[in-house]
Chains A and B, each alone.
Chain A
Amino acid sequence: MLGMREIRRRIRSVNSIQQITRAMQMVAVSRLKRAEERLHSARPYAEKIQELMESLAPSLPQIEHPLLAKREPRRIALVLITSDKGLCGAFNANIIQYAHRFIEESSGKEIKLFLVGKKGYDFFSRRSYPIEYYLPQVSRDISPQEVKEISNSFVQGFEKGLHDEVYLFYTQFRTAMNTVPTQKKLLPIESPGPESEQGASEPIYEPSAEEIMNELLPRYIQAHVYKGLVESSASEHGSRMVSMKNATDNAEEMIKTLTLSYNKARQASITKEIIEVTTASEALKYARES
Chain B
Amino acid sequence: MDGPQFSLEVVTLKKLIFSGMVEGITAPGSVGYFGILKGHTPFVSGLQPGIFTVSLPRGERETMAISGGFLLTDGNKVIVLADSAEAPNEIDLERTRASRDRAQRRISESPPDLDVPRAKASLARALTRLKAAGAS
Contacts and interface: CB of A to CB of B under 8 A. Distances in A.
Given A203-B41, A205-B44, A219-B81, 8 more contacts: A42-B14, A44-B9, A44-B11, A51-B79, A52-B79, A144-B13, A144-B83, A203-B42
Nearest to A43: B16
Contacts of A48: 9, 11, 79, 81
Contacts of A205: 44-45
B12 interface: yes
B44 A55 contact: yes
A41 B83 contact: no
Interface residues of B, number: 25
B46 A212 contact: yes
B46 A45 contact: no
A144 B125 CA distance: 15
Interface residues of A, number: 29
A206 B13 contact: no
B82 to A, nearest CB: 9
A219 B46 CA distance: 12
Contacts, number: 78
B52 to A, nearest CB: 16
Interface of A: 38, 41-42, 44-45, 48-49, 51-52, 55-56, 144, 147, 201-207, 209, 211-212, 215-216, 219, 222-223, 226
Contacts of A209: 44
A205 B42 CA distance: 9
B46 A206 contact: yes
Contacts of A215: 46, 68, 70
A57 to B, nearest CB: 13
Nearest to A51: B79
Max chain A CB contacts within 10 Å: which of B15, B29, B30? B15
Given A48-B81, A49-B81, A206 B31 contact: yes
Contacts of A44: 9, 11, 15-16
13 contacts: A38-B14, A44-B11, A48-B11, A51-B79, A52-B72, A202-B42, A203-B42, A203-B44, A203-B74, A204-B42, A206-B31, A207-B46, A223-B13
B81 A45 contact: yes
Nearest to A222: B13
Contacts of A38: 14
B84 interface: yes
